[in-house]
RNA sequence: GGGCGAUUAGCUCAGUUGGUUAGAGCGCUUCUCUGAUAAGGAAGAGGUCCCUGGUUCGAGUCCAGGAUCGCCCA
């Protein structure tokens, strides 16, 4: 028995708050873990968010997907620990603190604030929104152990990170290189490639065509650049070796450029004098006059022309300038060329006139000898000056505007510089093959990520730029002595032992003070170097932090070895697609660097959320959808349901409040009202149910599914349970959820609709059936909509503290499957549909009974429909259902070939085979197939015997009958309405009218009444004839029939005059007793 | 410029290994049912399955090229 009454207009958000309270009281989440204590682990890793800003709707998306599968697997019987986590370090936090403190540069941090105070502020700021996050996490029903969440700033966490890095160093994979890296001059830090990826923006830059004179002639090289600020660093130019270049005369000048570019650039007035390849061009001219900008430490002289395949002729001139300090390709090509005065192994040979803050140093001079010192290189005013200077010296052919996508700092928006800096790297590119192999063991959802976006990224892997010249991060555990020896510290104990300093906090600046004598030995067993080793100033890329979470969250290897081994690798992780180059990568890279297998087995990649107009949500546009109002209006279940079922999550969402509302109306409310219906009548029939078999109280299996309809509902429920489990196992919440919605619709709009009378009458089998179905739905739905599912379970069963402590339903345990019955019901519903169609065509209301429906069906189909003939009869409101085996009685057949079976047999001859089939006499074929005699066709000298599957016989409706047909089925209705049928129809109209009166009079559905009817004589005839059924239907304990309306109404409370089919009817009634007897 | 994905009704989305009348929900029109349901049912309007070519007896589905959008990378 349900324990509580149900409000049919229940507001779901309010309900959810009650359920949350119940979960707290009963400690359900913890209990769900305790219950599986001994069970096999199913491992989930939480990708740590940063809590220094409020959570948004896209966080809700990933968090509900992070919830559904662990919930499901817990119900499946696994133990699913869900340790929360917070990403604490990194530039986002530093930026927020800088804003808070009103500063904006590293100098200010070090000089005005001090690293100690700055990092203290960071430590505080990083959890500014943690309570907001926790509140939202709880509200959306994301079960996560927030109490024991790992934090990347914890000492234990950082120590594990140090350990990992020291292991990597031991394998010789950590090195300090001098590479050109994306660099933010404002933050004065290097950005990793995944950070760069976050900040591309379309910008307009000047596009400059320079004409540089070759050394031995009058020809001028046309050189293209969009970064004039790099020209002072120019040391060479490069052409593409294989491309064709042209010597072109325009007016007085002769230019060299790629032939492809002559037309677009020089146009009509140009005359090609000669063509030559890039290699030939290098061979002939060798050098040009440089440098492009004078510098206090550079002599005028010849600079080399080089050739390299990276140069393209698709835009520009096919000739590019090389500044190895400001370009990765430039660096590589210059480093490889013997005739460039640059040795990559000697840092001082790299010509870089730009200081770390993005301004020129004192060396760069204008043509008048004025210094550009202190000017920010991306300053548009400077750009103008540089161009004017070049123009003045006659070096400019043309300046255009060029729109392209250029990387910006993802936090502060400053355009990045490509800039050669000393930086620490992990040689991940050496492990490319291992990472690719590990990726092969991973299931990606959607699958194309595996060999697409992610696989591609791995294939093109470059070494991981690990160091950040910042403050708030895990300090790089690298110590170096004046002689250049490097030692990587692998634990806090080691540092304490070597330095004699015990630190409570290993963040900067404290760790910077811990030095020790250099332990480096030149030969094994030799004397240690002993010079004072100091930590290098950098901190570690935060992605290395988060990628270390599989072991660092457990402080492995310093403790919890067992726990770590049990929980590696993860069965499941889930983040948005932007993490392919972020966390998905750092997890895999670190595991591979430590020679472990892939750290995850299944990855769900979620798409982006766009606003209702299809625009990307962003704070600056102000179009971001806040989660709280949505939760308050529709509720967490509604939002979850929308994310799970509206589409495949990786396709991205076009957020729609309307669609969420639709989900509530069409699914949650439909479920709720089916549940309400059950509870309403279960309570009304409490007595009958208590007397009935105890089975309905027990394990949910009804003692007797009394009717086919019961067996059908149970079979459908079992089938759905199987499908939902299967789809969730395959990380396909979308199909799984839609299957549940389909079941609920079948229960509501077919099972309950067809069984209403049995519920009014208190039939225990009907109650038991619906209870089983609803409880199963509650369990199936639990991972999706944990609130409403729990409420239904708790009220209908409640033998456990929560639905989330139940096992996920297995089809076999729900009910026996009956495929035949399911098929038959399908047919019966189809038949009903056709019959209603025929009624509609004839414009005869369903309330008017008809004599006969004639159904065309044969063989198994007929048996199926016959089994459910009562259902069909009642739905169509006909006295009889008659079957005919052949269409002849209703019309005639049409015949069509089945291309699917005949196509493969006849191939090219298919059109002729189709003709042959069409030429057959349909009735003859139908009869032959029925009798088992043989019909053959001959096409292109080939004989084929037609089987029943080779042809599609369809009914052709004759004129003048009310027939609906579809494929092989047809339903015809006998439209003759005799007096008898007419009176029954009227009786039903009268019942309908009385029911309306009851409603108007404000009666409860179960109230008994005294009823008096008067009015038109022909109506009263119908009343007299159907007196009993009218009384029964309207719960009338006494029924007076009179011609005199006033007399009948006199003693009753409520009176109404209405008309039925244009005839007058007076209805008077009085409540005699409330509720069922 | 390269990679990945998407493009099906006004909107949101399904569409199995290629099979000949391309579906659902919402919305719209008309009718209908209702003693749970802001529900349900029937009929109707609404489609160049982005375009072009190809493979095939047959293409929304496979292939190639292109367009547009999104993401990622240069």
CA R_g for chain A: 40
Q: Measure CA of the first residue to CA of the last residue in chain A; give whole Å.
A: 19
Q: Is A579 a catalytic residue?
A: yes
In angstroms, rounded to a whole number, what is the distance separating the alpha carbons of residues A243 and A259?
Answer: 8
Summarize pLDDT for A489-519 with one digit per residue, the tens.
Answer: 999 999 999 999 999 999 999 999 999 999 9
The pLDDT value recorded for residue A1048 is 55
Q: In this predicted structure, what is the pLDDT of residue A152?
A: 95
CA angle (A458 as vertex; A456, A464 as ends), nearest 5 = 135
Percent of chain A with pLDDT over 90: 39
User: What is the rounded CA–CA span in Å between residue A50 and residue A55?
Assistant: 9
* Residue A895: both structure tokens together: 């015949």
Does residue A480 surpass a pLDDT of 70? yes
Q: Residue A219's closest CA among A260, A192, A254, A191?
A: A254
Specify which residue's alpha carbon is closest to the C1' of nucleotide B57. A908
List Cα–Cα distances, A951 to A934, A936, A948, in angstroms: 13, 12, 6
| Band of residue A696 on the pLDDT scale cut at 50, 70, 90 | very low
Q: How far is the C-alpha of A71 from the C-alpha of A1058, rounded, in Å?
A: 56
Distance CA A248, CA A233 (A): 28
Q: What is the pLDDT of residues A736-753, one digit of tens each?
A: 999 999 899 889 888 988
Residue A878, token pair as written in the block:
């006909």
For the four alpha carbons of A676, A679, A681 and A683, in that order, the dihedral sign comes to negative
What is the per-residue pLDDT across A603-625, written as a single tens digit (0 to 9) for each? 999 988 887 766 677 666 666 77
Q: Which residue has the tokens 């990708």?
A: A47
Q: What is the pLDDT of residue A345?
A: 58
Kindly report the average pLDDT of chain A as a whole number. 85
pLDDT of res. A994: 85
Annotate A34-66 with b (16+ C-beta within 10 A) or e (fewer).
ebbeeeeebbbbbbbbbbbbebbbbbbbbbbbb
DSSP codes joined into one string, A578-633: GGGTTHHHHHHHHHHHTT---SBSEEEEE-PEE-TTSPBP-TTTT-PPPHHHHHHH
Contact present, A845 and A836 (Cβ < 8 Å) = no
The answer to whether A787 touches A16, Cβ cutoff 8 Å, is yes
Pick from A57-71, A300-314, A736-750: least confident = A300-314
d(CA A100, CA A95): 9
Q: CB of A696 under 7 A from strand B?
A: no
Q: Which residues, 6+ apart, have CB-to-CB distance to A456 below 8 Å? A: none
- Other beta carbons within 10 Å of A906: 20
Question: CA–CA separation, A240 vs A668, rounded Å?
Answer: 64
Distance CA A342, CA A336 (A): 9
Stated length of chain A: 1077
Q: Of A625, A633, A776, A626, which is closest to residue A12 (Cα–Cα)?
A: A633
- In the set A67, A73, A87, A330, the catalytic residue is A87
Residues 6+ away with beta carbon under 8 Å from A751: A709, A712, A713, A769, A770, A773
A909-CA/B17-C1' distance, Å: 22
Residue of A668, A190, A589 lying closest to A409 (CA atoms): A190
Nucleotide whose C1' lies closest to the alpha carbon of residue A616: B70
Q: What is the pLDDT of residues A404-455, one digit of tens each?
A: 778 888 777 888 888 888 888 898 888 999 999 999 999 999 888 888 889 8
Model confidence band, residue A403 (pLDDT cutoffs 50, 70, 90): confident
Pick from A899, A892, A947: nearest CA to A922: A892
Q: Three-state DSSP class for A674?
A: helix
Instruction: Tell if A608 CB is < 7 Å from nucleic strand B.
Output: yes
For helices A669-684 and A753-760, give the axis angle rounded to 10 degrees.
20
DSSP string, A175-195: EEEEEEEEEETTTTEE--HHH
**Other residues' Cβ atoms within 10 Å of the Cβ of residue A348:** 6
Question: What is the reported pLDDT for A638?
Answer: 92
User: How far is residue A587's CA from residue A549's CA, in Å, rounded to a whole number?
Assistant: 8
pLDDT(A1051) > 70: no
Answer whether the bond into residue A215 is a cis peptide, omega within 30°.
no
Categorize the per-residue pLDDT at A1 as very low, low, confident or very high, splitting at 50, 70 and 90.
confident
The crossing angle, in degrees rounded to 10, of helices A12-26 and A786-796 is: 70
SS3 A509: coil
**ipTM summary value:** 0.90
Between the alpha carbon of residue A566 and those of residues A37, A151, A551, A573, the distances in Å are 13, 20, 11, 16
Residue with the larger pLDDT of the pair A598 and A1071? A598
Most confident residue range from A431-445, A641-655, A872-886, A1055-1069: A431-445
Global pTM value: 0.83
CB atoms inside a 10 Å sphere around CB A970? 26
Q: Give residues with Cβ within 8 angstroms of A765, minimum separation 6.
A: A702, A703, A704, A705, A706, A707, A710, A758
| SS3 of residue A354 by DSSP | strand
Q: Is the CB of A198 under 7 A from strand B?
A: yes
Contacts of A691 (CB under 8 A, 6+ apart): none
Output the DSSP codes for A257-325: EEHHHHHHHH-TTEEEEEEEEHHHHHHHH-EEEE-SS-BTTB--EEEEEEE-TT--SSSTTSEEEE-TT
Q: How many CA atoms lie within 13 A of A165 on its CB side?
A: 32
Q: Determine if strand B comes within 7 Å of the CB of A749.
A: yes
State how far the Cα of A754 lies from the Cα of A825, in Å rounded to an integer: 12
How does strand A609-610 pair with strand A653-654?
parallel
Residue A12 CA, nucleotide B11 C1', distance (Å): 26
Residues A165, A540 contacting (CB under 8 angstroms): yes
Distance A954 CA to B58 C1' (A): 22
Protein-contacted bases of chain B (C-beta within 7 A): 1, 3-6, 12-14, 19-21, 25-26, 31-43, 56-58, 69-74
The pLDDT tens digits for A808-848 are: 999 999 888 888 888 888 888 878 877 877 777 777 777 88
Gap between the Cα atoms of A650 and A562, Å rounded: 35
In terms of Cα–Cα distance, which of A525, A520, A474 is closest to A498? A520
| pLDDT on residue A1046 | 59
**Helix (H) or strand (E) segment spanning residue A336:** helix A328-336
* Packing angle of the helix pair A708-729, A819-842 (nearest 10 deg): 110
- Tell me which residues from 111 to 130 on chain A have a beta carbon below 7 angstroms from nucleic acid strand B: none
* Long-range Cβ contacts of A667-670 (<8 Å, 24+ apart): A667/A641, A667/A741, A667/A744, A668/A12, A668/A637, A668/A638, A668/A641, A668/A785, A668/A788, A670/A744, A670/A745, A670/A748
The C1' atom of B1 and the CA atom of A834 lie apart, in whole Å, by 59
**3 state DSSP class of A455:** helix
Which of chain A's residues 892-951 bind strand B, using a 7 Å CB cutoff?
896, 898-900, 903-904, 907-908, 910-911
Within A 450-469, residues with CB less than 7 Å from strand B: 452-453, 456-457, 460
Where helices occur in A441-577 by DSSP H, the ranges are: 448-449, 455-459, 492-499, 542-547, 549-552, 561-566
Average pLDDT over residues A466-482: 92
Report which of A1032, A1020, A1028 is spatially closest to residue A990, judged by C-alpha positions.
A1020
Check residue A113 and report its DSSP letter.
Answer: I
The structure tokens listed for A185 are 């001059």
Q: Which two tokens stand for residue A685?
A: 């029939």
Closest nucleotide over all strands to A615 (CA to C1') = B70
Region of residue A135 (phi > 0: left; psi between -120 and 50: alpha; otherwise: beta): alpha
């Amino acid at each position: 028995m349900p324990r509580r009454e149900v409000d049919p207009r229940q507001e779901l958000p309010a309900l959810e708050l009650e359920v949350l309270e119940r979960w707290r009281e009963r400690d359900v989440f913890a209990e769900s873990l305790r219950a599986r204590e001994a069970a096999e682990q199913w491992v989930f890793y939480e990708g740590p968010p940063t809590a220094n800003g409020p959570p948004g709707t896209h966080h809700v998306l990933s968090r509900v997907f992070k919830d559904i599968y662990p919930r499901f697997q817990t119900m499946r019987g696994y133990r699913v620990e869900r340790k929360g986590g917070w990403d604490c370090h990194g530039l986002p936090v530093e930026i927020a603190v800088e804003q808070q403190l009103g500063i904006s540069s590293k100098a200010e941090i070090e000089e005005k604030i001090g690293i100690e105070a700055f990092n203290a502020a960071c430590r505080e700021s990083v959890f500014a929104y943690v309570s907001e996050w926790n509140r939202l996490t709880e509200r959306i029903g994301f079960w996560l152990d927030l109490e024991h969440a790992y934090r990347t700033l914890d000492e234990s966490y950082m120590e594990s990170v140090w350990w990992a890095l020291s292991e990597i160093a031991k394998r010789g994979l950590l090195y300090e290189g001098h590479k050109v890296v994306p660099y933010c001059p404002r933050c004065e830090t290097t950005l990793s490639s995944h950070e760069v990826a976050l900040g591309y923006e379309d910008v307009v830059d000047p596009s400059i065509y320079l004409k540089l004179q070759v050394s031995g002639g009058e020809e001028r090289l046309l050189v293209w650049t969009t970064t004039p600020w790099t020209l002072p660093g120019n040391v060479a130019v490069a052409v593409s070796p294989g491309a064709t270049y042209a010597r072109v005369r325009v007016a007085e000048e002769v230019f060299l450029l790629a032939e492809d570019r002559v037309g677009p650039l020089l146009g009509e007035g140009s005359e090609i004098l000669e063509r030559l390849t890039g290699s030939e061009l290098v061979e002939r001219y060798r050098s040009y006059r440089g440098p492009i900008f004078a510098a206090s430490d550079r002599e005028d002289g010849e600079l080399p022309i080089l050739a390299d395949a990276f140069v393209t002729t698709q835009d520009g001139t096919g000739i590019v300038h090389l500044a190895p300090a400001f370009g990765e390709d430039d660096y590589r090509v210059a480093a490889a060329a013997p005739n460039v005065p640059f040795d990559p192994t000697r840092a001082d040979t790299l010509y870089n006139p730009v200081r770390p803050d993005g301004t020129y140093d004192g060396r760069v001079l204008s043509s008048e000898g004025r210094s550009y010192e202190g000017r920010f290189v991306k300053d548009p005013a400077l750009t103008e000056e540089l161009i004017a200077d070049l123009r003045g010296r006659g070096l400019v052919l043309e300046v255009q505007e060029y729109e392209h996508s250029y990387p910006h700092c993802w936090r502060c928006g400053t355009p990045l510089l490509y800039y050669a800096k000393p930086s620490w790297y992990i040689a991940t590119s050496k492990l490319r093959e291992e990472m690719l192999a590990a990726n092969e063991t991973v299931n990606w959802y959607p699958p194309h990520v595996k060999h697409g976006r992610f696989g591609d990224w791995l294939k093109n892997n470059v070494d991981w730029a690990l160091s950040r010249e910042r403050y708030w991060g895990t300090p790089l555990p690298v110590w170096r002595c004046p002689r250049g020896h490097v030692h990587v510290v692998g634990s806090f104990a080691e540092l304490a032992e070597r330095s004699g300093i015990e630190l409570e906090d290993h963040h900067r600046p404290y760790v910077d003070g811990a030095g020790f004598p250099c332990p480096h030995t030149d030969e094994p067993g030799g004397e240690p170097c002993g010079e004072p080793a100091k930590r290098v100033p950098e901190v570690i890329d935060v992605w290395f932090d988060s990628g270390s979470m599989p072991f660092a969250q457990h402080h492995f290897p310093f403790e919890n070895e067992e726990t770590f081994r049990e929980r590696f690798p993860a069965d499941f992780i889930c983040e948005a697609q932007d993490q392919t180059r972020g966390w998905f990568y750092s997890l895999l890279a670190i595991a591979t660097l430590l020679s472990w297998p892939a750290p995850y087995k299944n990855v769900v990649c979620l798409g982006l959320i766009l606003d209702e107009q299809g625009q990307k949500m962003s704070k600056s546009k102000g179009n971001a959808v806040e989660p709280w109002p949505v939760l308050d209006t529709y509720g967490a279940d509604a939002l979850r349901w929308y994310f799970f079922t509206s589409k495949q999550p990786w396709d991205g969402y076009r957020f729609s409040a309307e669609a969420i509302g639709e989900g509530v109306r069409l699914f949650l409310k439909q479920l709720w009202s089916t549940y309400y219906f059950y509870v309403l009548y279960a309570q009304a029939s409490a007595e009958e149910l208590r007397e009935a078999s105890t089975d309905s109280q027990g394990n949910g299996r009804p003692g007797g599914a009394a009717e086919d309809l019961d067996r059908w509902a149970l079979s459908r429920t079992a089938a759905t349970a199987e499908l939902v489990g299967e789809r969730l196992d395959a990380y396909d919440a979308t199909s799984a959820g839609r299957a549940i919605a389909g079941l609920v619709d079948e229960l509501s709009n077919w099972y309950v609709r067809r069984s209403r009378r049995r519920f009014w009458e208190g039939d225990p089998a009907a109650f038991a059936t619906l209870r089983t179905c609803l409880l199963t739905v509650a369990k199936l739905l639990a991972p999706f909509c944990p609130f409403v599912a729990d409420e239904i379970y708790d009220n209908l069963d409640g033998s456990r503290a929560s639905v989330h402590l139940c096992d996920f339903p297995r089809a076999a345990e729900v009910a026996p499957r009956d495929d035949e019955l399911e098929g038959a019901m399908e047919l019966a519903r189809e038949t009903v549909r056709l019959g209603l169609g025929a009624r509609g065509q004839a414009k005869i209301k369903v309330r008017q009974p008809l004599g006969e429906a004639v159904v065309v069906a044969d063989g198994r189909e007929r048996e199926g429909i016959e089994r459910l003939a009562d259902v069909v009869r009642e739905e169509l409101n006909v006295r009889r259902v008659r079957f005919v085996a052949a269409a002849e009685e209703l019309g005639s057949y049409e015949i069509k070939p089945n291309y699917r079976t005949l196509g493969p047999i006849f191939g090219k001859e298919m059109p002729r085979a189709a003709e042959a089939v069409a030429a057959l006499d349909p009735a003859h074929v139908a009869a032959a197939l029925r009798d088992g005699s043989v019909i053959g066709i001959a096409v292109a000298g080939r004989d084929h015997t037609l089987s029943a599957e080779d042809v599609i016989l369809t009914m052709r409706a004759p004129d003048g009958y009310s027939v609906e047909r579809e494929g092989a089925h047809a339903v015809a209705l006998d439209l003759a309405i005799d007096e008898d049928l007419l009176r029954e129809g009227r009786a039903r109209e009268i019942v309908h009218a009385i029911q309306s009166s009851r409603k108007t009079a404000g009666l409860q559905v179960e109230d008994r009444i005294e009823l008096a009817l008067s009015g038109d004589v022909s109506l009263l005839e119908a009343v007299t004839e159907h007196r009993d059924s009218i009384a029964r239907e309207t719960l009338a304990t006494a029924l007076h029939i009179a011609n005199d309306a006033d007399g009948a109404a006199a003693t009753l409370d409520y009176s109404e005059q209405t008309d039925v089919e244009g005839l007058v009817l007076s209805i008077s009634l009085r409540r005699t007793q409330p509720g069922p007897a």
